[in-house]
Amino acid sequence: MIQRYVYGKPYDTGAVVRPVRAQDGAIPYFSVTQRGDTITWSLTLHPDEMIFGLGEQVGGINRRGQLLRSWNEDQPVHTEDQPNLYASHNLLLFTSPERLFGVYFDDPGEMTFDLGWTDLDRAVITSVGGNLNVYVLTAESLTAICREFRGLTGRSYMAPRWAFGYIQSRWGYASDEDARQVAREHRKRGIPLDGICMDIDYMDGFRDFTWNRELMPDLPKLTADLREDHVHLIPIMDAAVKEDPESPVYAEGHEKGFFCKRKDGRDFVGAVWPGRSALPDFLNSEARRWFGEQYRPLLDAGIDAFWNDMNEPALFYSEDGLRHAWEMADKLRSDNPEVEDCFRLRGVFMGMANDPEDYRHFYHRMDGADGETVRHDRVHNLYGAMMTLATADALRQYDPSRRHLLFSRSSFIGAHRYGGVWQGDNYSWWSHILLEVHELASLNMCGFLYSGADLGGFGKNTQPELLLRWLQLGVFTPLMRNHSAQHTRDQEIYRFTNWQDMRAILTVRYALIPYLYSEYMKAALNDGMLFRPLAFDYPQDADACRTEDQLMWGEDCMIAPVYTPNARGRHVYLPEDMAFIRFRSAEDYDVSTLRKGHRWVELKANEMALFIRRGHVIPLATKPAEYVDAIDTRELRLLGWLDKDTAVTLYEDDGFTPSPKLDAGLREIQVWAKGKRAEAASRGMPVEAADVVIGG
C-alpha cells in the first residue's frame, strides 16, 4: 500500500510516474513539526531497528547511526564522515520486530537524515524547503516494498548487452591514437574489452558536443574502426556549456534563453573545465530538447554511448564567488596574520567550489511552475537527473532502433529510468571496495541497477593487488569500468606485472555475462533488484541481517569480495547451504559445498569467490570471448548444487532491442540428477553440467 502526504506546495520532480491520491490524516509512524519552511519528521527507534536506503551515500548498508544529507555535490572525498555525495535518493526502509515500512521524501531541495546519530534511539528527518510529497510504503517484505517503490517511480533503465563488457577509461585519453592504443594493447594480450571511455580531453577546449579535430581528425573513422574491433567509444558530456560567443551551441542557447539566469536576467556564469560557462536549464523541457538536438553530430559520427558528468552541477567558482574570495583574502592579508586568520586564508579559495551561496543566485524556468522562475537551490537535486533525461530523450528520438549506454554522475529518483550511474570519484583505497558493496545494495533499492564504481580507484595511486581484488568485485557489477584520474599511476591492466591474473578474472566476467545480463534484465523487467543485502532475502536470520560485506546477486547467488590487503581468505556468513566456487579463471576453478553458518574461505590474491544457493544452478558461457558479441550462449556449462530436478531460466534477446519482452526471451534449461552426475538440456540440446554438485 502506498499513501501520499502533501506538505506545502510540492514541486513536480518527475520521480513518481503513478498517481497516488493524497491522504488527509496525519502521516503514520512519525511525529511532524514545522518551523518556518523547515519540516521535521521524527520517530523513536526500536533497539533492533535497522534502516536501509538513501541510495548513493557513504556508510554501511544499515544506515542506523548515520548523519546524512541530500545535497548533490561534486564531492571526491568519500570518507566515512562525508554526509552527501553526487545524488539524492530519499527512500528509507525501516524494519524492526515491531514494524516494516518504507518512506519516500519526494523533495528536490536539501534534506538531512539523522538516523540515530545524535541519539541512538531516535531518527530525525528534515526538509529545509518543506514543499514535497511524502509517500509511505507498506508491504510484506523489504523486497516487496522496493518493488512497490519501483511501481511508483517507474521501470529501471536497461542497458544494451555490450555494456556488460569490460570498459577501460582514463582521464587523459585525448586522441585517436590514445583510443586505438588502448584497444590494441588489450586485444594483443587477449584481455577482453568492449568499451573505451573518453574523459574531457577529447573535446575541443572542453566544449560540449565538440571534439578536438587535431587529435581526432576523423571521428567517424575512429568509431567505425573500433566497432570493427568490437569496441565502443564512450565520450563524456559535461553539464555546463563554455561561454564562447563563437561556439554555435553557446550562441544558440544564449540567444534562445536556454541557460539558467540570474535575477537580473543575465545568464549565470560559473567556471568549470572550460572556464566561464553557462548552465543549460535542464528543468525546462524546451531547453532539454534543444540540448538533446546537439547530440546529433556525435550520433552521426557513430557514437552510441555517453556518460554525463559535472551535473550536480559542479562549480569551481562563480564570478561573485571569486570576487568575494579575493575580498576576503585581501582583508586577511598581513605579514603576521593571526593563526585563525591563517586558517581562514587557507579556506578562502577552497570554499569557492560548489559554494551553496552560488546556488541561490540563479533560476530555472521549470515546467509546471506556472511561468514562475524557481530559484535553483530549491530544486538543486534535480539538475543531474534532468540532464540525463535530456540525453536519454535525444538518444531515443534520434536513434530509436536500439538501446544505448548512458550513465551519469549526479542523479535523483526518476533518473533510474533514463540511465545508470557510476559512483563518482572514489579513491584507490581498499575501503572503497567495501564502499562499492554498500552503494550497490542501496542503489539497487532505489532502482539504479546499472551501476559500478571506478575499479582500481579514481583518485590517488592504485596498486597491483588492489586493482586485482577490485576487479574481482567488478566481475559482478553491470558497469565494469577501470577508470582513473590524471596524474595518478597508469591503471590499464596491461601496465602491471600481474596482468595475467587480472585477465584471468576478466574471463570469469565474460563467462558470467549470459547469467548477469539475464538477471539484470529480469530485475529491470520485474521491478526487482540485481544486488540485495542478505537482510532482504533472510529477514528472520539475525546474522544475515547484520552482514555488511556480502550481497545476494541475482536469484541464485551470493558474493563476498576480499577487500583487505595481503589477505589469503575471508570470513563469510552462509545464510543457507551453498556451493562455493573458487575462481582463478573461467576455466580454472574449484567447486565445493559449504553448510549454513559462519565459514572461512581461502582465497589467494588471484582467487575470487562465488556462492550458489543449494538447489540452484547457474549457466556460464563455455567458450572464451574477448567481447560480448562473441559470447556464444549455445554452449553453456552449469555450476551449482542440485537437490532435485530443476530448471534454470535464462533471459536472452538481441542485446539492443528498445522494447524487450520478458516472456519472449526466456529459455529454459532442464537439470536433473542421473546417479551421481548431473545432466542438463535446453531445447533438446545437451548442456554441460559436470560442475553441478549432487545431493547433500
Q: Which of residues 432-471 bind its own copies (CB under 8 A)?
A: 460-461, 463-466
DSSP tag of 152 = H
Q: Which is nearer to its own copies, 396 or 599 (CB)?
A: 599
Q: Does 540 bind its own copies (CB under 8 A)?
A: no
Bond before 313 cis per omega within 30 degrees: yes
Q: Binding-site residue total for its own copies (CB under 8 A)?
A: 72
Q: Does 571 bind its own copies (CB under 8 A)?
A: yes
Quick one: which segment of 26-34, 89-97, 266-274, 673-681 binds its own copies (CB under 8 A)? 266-274
Q: Which is nearer to its own copies, 320 or 367 (CB)?
A: 320
Quick one: which segment of 23-31, 576-584, 596-604, 644-652 binds its own copies (CB under 8 A)? 596-604
Nearest to 134 by CA among 29, 284, 46: 29
DSSP tag of 118 = S
Backbone angles phi and psi of 134, in degrees to 5:
-120, 130
CB of 276 to its own copies, least distance (A): 6
Q: Which is nearer to its own copies, 122 or 667 (CB)?
A: 122
Q: Does 336 bind its own copies (CB under 8 A)?
A: yes
The one-letter code for the residue type at 606 is N
Q: Which is nearer to its own copies, 21 or 598 (CB)?
A: 598
Alpha carbons 415 and 411: distance in angstroms, whole number: 6
Q: Does 1 bind its own copies (CB under 8 A)?
A: no
SS3 content of the chain, % helix, strand, coil (to 5): 25, 30, 45
- Alpha-carbon torsion 505, 510, 516, 517, what sign? positive
Q: Which is nearer to its own copies, 232 or 438 (CB)?
A: 438
Alpha carbons 324 and 342: distance in angstroms, whole number: 17
Residues 269-298, one symbol each (x = binds its own copies by CB under 8 A, - = not), give --xxxxxx----------------------
Quick one: which segment of 93-101, 117-125, 608-616, 636-644 binds its own copies (CB under 8 A)? 117-125
Q: Does 525 bind its own copies (CB under 8 A)?
A: no
Tell me which of 30, 268, 363, 427 binds its own copies, using CB under 8 A.
Answer: 427
Q: Which is nearer to its own copies, 17 or 326 (CB)?
A: 326
Give SS3 for 137.
strand
Alpha carbons 599 and 594: distance in angstroms, whole number: 8
Tell me which of 209, 317, 536, 538 binds its own copies, using CB under 8 A.
Answer: 317
Alpha carbons 8 and 109: distance in angstroms, whole number: 13
CB of 190 to its own copies, least distance (A): 21
CB of 244 to its own copies, least distance (A): 12
Tell me which of 101, 316, 398, 672 binds its own copies, using CB under 8 A.
Answer: 316
Judge contact between 339 and 269, C-beta under 8 A: no
Q: Does 568 bind its own copies (CB under 8 A)?
A: yes
Alpha carbons 380 and 358: distance in angstroms, whole number: 11
Q: Does 338 bind its own copies (CB under 8 A)?
A: yes
Strand spans (E) along 50-149: 50-53, 66-70, 87-88, 91-96, 99-106, 111-115, 122-127, 132-137
Q: Does 634 bind its own copies (CB under 8 A)?
A: no
* Cross-strand pairs, 311: none
Q: Does 598 bind its own copies (CB under 8 A)?
A: yes
Give SS3 for 222.
helix
Residues 57-116 that bind its own copies (CB under 8 A): 59-60, 62, 64-67, 79-81
Q: Does 596 bind its own copies (CB under 8 A)?
A: no
Q: Is 444 exposed, middle or buried (0-12, 13-18, 19+ CB in 10 A)?
A: buried
